[in-house]
Amino acid sequence: MSIARADLPLAVGPHTILILALMSKSVLTLIAPAGKEKLSLSLVEQVSSVIAATGATMLGEEWLSMEGACDLMFARTPPEAAEAAARAALGAASIDCIAQATAGRQKRMLITDMDSTVITVECIDEIADFAGVKDKVAGITERAMRGEIDFPSALAERVALLAGLPEATLARVYDERVKFMPGARELVATMRANGAYAVLVSGGFDFFTSRVRAALGFDADSSNRLEVEAGKLTGRVIPPILDKNAKLVTLMQTSAEREISLSEVLAAGDGANDVPMLLAAGLGVAYHAKPVVQQSARARINHCDLTALLYAQGYREEEIVR
């Protein structure tokens, strides 16, 4: 009779960890942009073949939305290698893909940027339009989002150009210019319906984040505050400035307070200001983002709307709250 020797330690070295990682189950999700391109069976089979060619063992497919999203299950190859192979096979097709481990795929917390992520505009650029300086402000915004200039300096320079503008302009911008990104309502509603906590964090302004939070159902919001005196913008921001480090701190503090591990967090953003937050989250997604963000983030969505972040978590079409 053989006896298990509990007193003998199990040696776990780098090679053992690599073997365990390669044997773990992973999934690559293919997602087509609604109303623009369909996900065909032939394309799914083509991508499955190129993943298998990396040495992966294919474990089957599951359609999350017919012609819209499909999961390809596999093992024995790293998700990063599978995704690289899939992207090469997709070529110029307007299809997004995200590969990841299946364990912990559905997240318990959502934290996302606002401007050009949850809404379609950059609020500060739209405010500047009413002051007649949109081109100048938008140019600074673009450079900041690309990471060419630091955010606090860019914010101060832009807000200074708004001095003297009536505070009532903010309401006009919200009412006339702010539009929600397609899929934003579904993303927040579906994750919250499944127990997730949703946070809106922005280098923009609380006048807008508070309204977007209420309209879309976020649990909390955090952003900057414009200084107002006698009903007019002073051209200053009330300290402290919420920058990339503050976004990261918001993620860390919120997850700790709610006892949610970082691996259970989904983060999304499009600018350089979002990178630390994206890197800290279990799944950090560069959403229609600047090149510097796409190069840094673990995952990226370039073609689809925000419901892609639900398919990436394994939600089926009929589970999405619309």
Q: Which residues are catalytic?
A: 113, 115
Q: Phi and psi of 96, rounded to 5°?
A: -95, 155
- What Å distances lie between residue 125 and 59, 162, 228, CA to CA? 48, 10, 18
Give the count of beta carbons closer than 10 Å to the beta carbon of residue 98. 23
Per-residue DSSP letter, 102: S
Helix (H) or strand (E) holding 128: helix 123-130
CA-based nearest residue to 95, from 153, 159, 44: 44
Q: Phi and psi of 198, rounded to 5°?
A: -115, 125
Give the integer Cα–Cα distance in Å for 125 and 209: 15
Per-residue DSSP letter, 115: B
Give the integer Cα–Cα distance in Å for 94 and 91: 9
Q: Is 85 exposed, middle or buried (0-12, 13-18, 19+ CB in 10 A)?
A: buried
Helix axes 123-130, 168-176, angle to 10 degrees: 120
Q: What does the block give as tokens for 152?
A: 């606090």
- Token look-up 């990261």 returns 248
> Which residues, in sequence order, are bridge partners of residue 237?
226
Question: Residue 220 in contact with residue 199, Cβ under 8 Å?
Answer: yes
Q: Is the backbone peptide bond immediately before 240 cis, with ω within 30 degrees of 0?
A: yes
